[in-house]
């Protein structure tokens, strides 16, 4: 076997002292992460009301169109019920955005 062969698994012994965790370090890291989660992120921009209202209107219009397309598909071939359900969901999300409620 050549000297420069690199195995996929490293089998060199590990110093057991180097891998032990100090309980104080672990607790300090836990406290730091908890404080970071408690503070609001300042780099996130708040949504503007106009953009949210516009997206709500667009979602409601698309939802109404899907419901109108889905009704004839109940008789004609096509996924009518599924189209109507998706349309109703889009209408609900659009109205929620217009009212100012948060959506996912």
pLDDT for 85: 95
pLDDT-based confidence at 52, cuts 50/70/90?
confident
Torsion of CA 46, 51, 52, 56, to 10 degrees: -170
CA angle centred on 56, ends 80 and 91, rounded to 5°: 25
Handedness of CA 48, 52, 53, 55 (dihedral sign): positive
pTM for this prediction: 0.51
pLDDT at 9: 66
């Amino acid at each position: 076997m050549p000297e420069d062969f690199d195995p996929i698994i490293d089998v060199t012994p590990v110093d057991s002292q180097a891998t032990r965790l100090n309980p104080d370090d672990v607790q300090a890291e836990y406290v730091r992460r908890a404080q970071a989660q408690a503070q609001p992120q300042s780099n996130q921009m708040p949504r503007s009301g106009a953009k949210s209202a516009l997206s709500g209107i667009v979602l409601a219009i698309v939802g109404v169109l899907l419901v109108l397309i889905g009704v004839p598909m109940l008789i004609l071939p096509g996924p009518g019920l599924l189209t109507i359900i998706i349309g109703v969901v889009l209408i609900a999300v659009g109205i929620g955005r217009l009212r100012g409620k948060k959506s996912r």
